[in-house]
Structure 1
Amino acid sequence: MFVSIQRYVIFVKILFLMQRLAYGMVYPILWLISILPFRLLYAFSDFLTFFIYHIVRYRREAVAQNLSLAFPKKDKMEIKTIEKEFYKHFTDLFLETFKSLSISDTELKKRFVIKNPEELERLESLKKSYVILMAHYASYEWVNALHFYGLTFKAHGVYKPIKNKYFDHLIKSIRSKYDTEMLASKSVPKKMLRQQQEGILASYAMIADQSPKRKGAKHYVKFLNHEVPAFVGAEYIAERLNLSMTYLHVEKVKRGYYEAEFVPLSDEPQKVESYQITDLYFKLLEDQIVKKPAYYLWTHKRWKHRLDK
């Protein structure tokens, strides 16, 4: 038994050492990427797109399958066009994440514009915490720009931790600019309840379009032609704590420039029929995707638990 524990400890130490070495080798490259002028950053993105799409062929089968499932009426040529546009956006988004390491406040505010900041002011005037629902669409990495548009409540971002603790720390640092507190998804309900009890006014930004498993699914939505299970945790806790809910509708205007608009979902979720807010959220997201499909994150298998599988 003692020998087994010793072996486990040695294994963990080796694992952490490998993670640290990987981080030590990659971080300088990421920092150099972050200080590139945007013109060179996107030139590098074009090269990276070619490498990922044609050489590595990163998740191309999954992307093609997802697009075919979502748009059954589109022919192969249309699907291929969307696929190529998606990979270009995908690499842009990846590099923009690390550009956040060095981007100035002025540049960030110029590139991520909030079209209706008055809605943010209205939310905070209600003097209660609120949930900002987002999606894997356009840009979700530069949402820190909200701090330039009247965000005064304690800001939180919900995320899924990365297994490599060094890269996890890096991502948390990038997303924690302007005192945003990053919360691991599993810790969110307790954190929200505790802050509610302590009278702390807060905002909670979370992406809610992931694909939960069928087992234990409480609700299904019709999303891009298929019945799929939906996460309802955000709506559930907002209802229990009487938090306002809003959708941050983000659009890509052109390369490196985004515009976002708050779309109210409910100020009193307790008075709304169960799952109605979740249904509305997916309807708003679907409308965006249908209009400009290349800006959705097609690499994740959103339809793997669909009912018609």
Structure 2
Amino acid sequence: MQLLIYKLVYPGLWLISKLPWKLFYAFSTSIFFIIYYIIGYRKRTVTENLILVFPEKAEKEIKKIRKEFYKHMCDMFLEMIKSISISNQEMMERFKVTNLEKIQNLEAKGQNIMVFMAHYASYEWANVIDIQTNFQAVGIYKPIGNMYFDRLVRRIRARFGSRVVTNKNAMREITEDQTKDGLYMYGLAADQSPKLHKAMYWTNFMGIKVPTFLGAEVLSKRLGINTYYLQVEKIKRGYYEATFVSITEDPKNCEDYSIVKKYLRLLEKQITNNPQYYLWSHKRWKHRNALAPEGATID
């Protein structure tokens, strides 16, 4: 059944990826109307998250942010489909890195990098960085249920040279990489909610106490890997700019949790300035009223 669904859907995805840009975004607008006005995909979750995070905002403003979020979400997921056939040149024109020289300097020094990312603006197009450095980019991701679509997602994310590994294998593979020659740049989104039994560190995110992933910080400190935040901003429809913001270049001497806290503060600033570009459809704050497991640190 999974293969049948994939064979039925994939030709349509390929055709969408080949659409000229004007038609492509016109199609995205039509999808927005269906998702927002007819289906109402996760509208309750989005609304609850926005009210929770922005209690001071009036209902009219919440609805405006919600509507703009859905427009952006449709663009973003269709842009991932566009990655099936987009050229290298088009990618570099539409997703520009403002300070690539910083990463090239680390490359010249032979230093590996851990890149904290977020579900903000465009995280799918960040793999354009792969074709502008000599680092072996390694993307960490969570597999999806349909094995054929999972394979497609892996192919899209690895299209420009990345190696894609699952979150379950990440710690082992990253540790093994440090025993090999070569340069590595690890990218992972760390802003979603861990499973409750693994929620060993709780801190404020957008003013609400929730558990936070620690894997990237633990690896950075243990292996001494430079840590950066990839701050992506949406300039206009279909165009993004990314800046590498240093979190620390001395992770082994950082206080516990200081890396992840700085990452969250950087992300919070972006969300506060332009909330419509964050992925509000995820249940990021679902554990806010839960009991922390025994031994957890609550900050």
TM surpasses 0.5: yes
In percent, how many aligned pairs have the same letter? Answer: 47
Residue by residue over 1:137-168, the C-alpha shift from the partner in whole angstroms, topping out at 9 and shown as x without a partner, is: 0001111211343x212111111111111000
| 1:198 counterpart letter in structure 2 | K
Q: 2:163 aligns with which of 181, 184, 192?
A: 181
Aligned-partner Cα distance in 2 for 1:304–1:274: 25
SS across alignment from 1:49: helix
What does residue 204 of structure 2 align with?
222
Report how far residue 130 of structure 1 moved.
1.4
CA contact (8 A) 2:130 2:136 kept: no
Structure 1's consecutive aligned runs of 4 or more residues displaced over 6 angstroms after TM superposition are: none
SS across alignment from 1:87: helix
Alpha-carbon RMSD across the aligned residues, in angstroms, is 1.3
- The answer to whether the aligner puts 1:194 opposite 2:176 as a matched pair is yes
Aligned-partner Cα distance in 1 for 2:218–2:108: 23
Report how far residue 197 of structure 1 moved.
1.6
Q: 1:141 aligns with which of 102, 110, 124?
A: 124
- The answer to whether the aligner puts 1:97 opposite 2:91 as a matched pair is no
Report how far residue 129 of structure 1 moved.
1.7
Aligned-partner Cα distance in 2 for 1:232–1:213: 12
Aligned-partner Cα distance in 2 for 1:34–1:197: 39
- The answer to whether the aligner puts 1:295 opposite 2:269 as a matched pair is no
CA contact (8 A) 2:118 2:267 kept: yes
- The answer to whether the aligner puts 1:205 opposite 2:201 as a matched pair is no
Deviates more, 1:251-260 or 1:223-232: 223-232
- The answer to whether the aligner puts 1:273 opposite 2:249 as a matched pair is no
SS across alignment from 1:31: helix
Report how far residue 126 of structure 1 moved.
3.2
Report how far residue 128 of structure 1 moved.
2.6
Aligned-partner Cα distance in 2 for 1:213–1:147: 31
Alignment TM-score, normalising by the size of structure 2: 0.95
- In structure 1, the gaps of 5 or more residues are 1-17
- In structure 2, the gaps of 5 or more residues are 292-299
Q: 1:167 aligns with which of 139, 149, 159?
A: 149
Q: 1:70 aligns with which of 53, 56, 59?
A: 53
Which entry has the higher C-alpha Rg, 1 or 2?
1
What pairs with 1:236-275 in structure 2 (closer than 5 Å)?
236-275=218-257
Aligned-partner Cα distance in 1 for 2:180–2:91: 33
CA contact (8 A) 1:227 1:308 kept: no
| 1:267 counterpart letter in structure 2 | E
Deviates more, 1:245-254 or 1:210-219: 210-219
What does residue 296 of structure 2 align with?
none
CA contact (8 A) 2:134 2:183 kept: no
Report how far residue 229 of structure 1 moved.
0.6
Aligned-partner Cα distance in 2 for 1:230–1:200: 31
